[in-house]
Amino acid sequence: MSIDLFHRLIPFLSYTDLVYLQGWGEPLLNKHIFEMVRFCKERGKRVGFTTNGMLLTEDRIRMLVDLELDILGVSLAGTTAGTHNRIRKGTDYDKLVFNLDLLSKIKAERKVKAPEVHLAYLMLRSNFHELKEILPLAIRVGAKEIVAGNLTLIVDPKLSAQAIFNYSGSIEPQKRANKSKNGKLPYGRRSPTACPPGRRALWAGGCGELQYYRSRLEEIRKRACRENIIFDYHGPGIDDASLYCRENVRRACVINVNGEVVPCVFTNPVLCENRGLGNGRSSCYMFKGQFFPLTGISFGNIQNETLTRIWNKKEYAGFRDLFDPETATRPEQILSEMPKCCVKCYKRLGV
């Protein structure tokens, strides 16, 4: 976003408590990012963004500390260099940890607590086993919050199987008959729904890998609580009847680089344009094994009208009402009125 376009938002900062300077891409690539942070802080707002950590030089870290940035989110896809670097191409785990150590050192020198570090871990089947080491890392770099999120926008069919919520379900009846009297599978045998290789399967209530993921996440949450660190995770199961959106579309909005006001980053028209597949084919994503076109939603543009006017539009208010938990409307009717891109979105299903 250009600084001129950002200035159009300044009069409306009084309506919010938190400004998160984030969309798709690396915020530190924006040459105006520090000026944007300063404008928000001068108006008493909490400010944050999420980075891959590669551009956190000492000078930039000191600038962020001086500006009193409130939240610095850091993206992770593993707790070892091999795993993280393989998944997050172009990043370097060791450099990332070095930069976070440097941030901790500078904060200690200044005797300040800001920015507060949040670790954002992308959970996949291939890296879930490393999530247990996220807590020691958080303690080391002084992180106050850990968020374990899912791969929810799947544009490559090869990645679909990596999503941990794409589990196969409960144990088949014929497989249960093969268990021993104590309820465990004979040594060396695995159910089709068992946990990943090298992990012990949990069979509570006849559940397989879903119970495995959930129990491990709860173990980490309890350990984090003892260290006064918040651990929040999404899923791992999906809820088809859910009408709640994790993107908080009822109370938040996204203004994209062109000034369009959209409900969330997943409905950003720029995302749809930039992911064109070529040959005249539209951008697509996978949902429950099927392809659907990426479609954008825009309720107006701040270059043409004020944010207040856009927010109060009848069609935008009606959209937000679809996600009101107090509504008396039947779920079937709500889903029929909801945009298809929201109906077929994993964020709505609790992951």
Instruction: Tell me the per-residue pLDDT of 58-70, one tens digit each, with 9 for 90 and over.
Output: 999 999 999 999 9
Q: In sequence order, which residues have a C-beta less than 8 Å from that of residue 236 and are 6 or more positions away?
A: 123, 150, 164, 165, 167, 210, 213, 214, 217, 351
CATH superfamily for domain 1-169+207-238: Aldolase class I (3.20.20.70)
Specify whether the CB–CB gap between 121 and 96 falls below 8 A. Answer: no
**22-54 pLDDT tens trace:** 888 899 999 999 999 999 999 999 999 999 999
Tell me the residue type at 343: V
Residue 169's pLDDT band, with cuts at 50, 70 and 90, is: very low
Query: Cα 223 to chain center, whole Å?
Result: 22
Q: Are strands 18-20 and 46-51 parallel, antiparallel or unpaired?
A: parallel
Question: Largest alpha-carbon pair distance within the chain?
Answer: 71
Model pLDDT, residue 280:
43
Residue 109's pLDDT band, with cuts at 50, 70 and 90, is: very high
- What count of other Cβ atoms lies within 10 Å of the Cβ of residue 230? 14
Chain region(s) in the chain for CATH 3.20.20.70: 1-169+207-238
Model pLDDT, residue 224:
96
> Percent of the chain beyond pLDDT 70?
83
**175-228 pLDDT tens trace:** 333 333 333 333 233 333 333 333 333 323 235 778 889 899 999 999 999 999
Mean pLDDT of the chain: 82
User: E strands within 60-160?
Assistant: 71-76, 116-123, 145-150
Left if phi > 0, otherwise alpha if psi is -120 to 50, otherwise beta: which for 182?
Answer: alpha
The whole-model pTM stands at 0.81
Residue 271's pLDDT band, with cuts at 50, 70 and 90, is: low
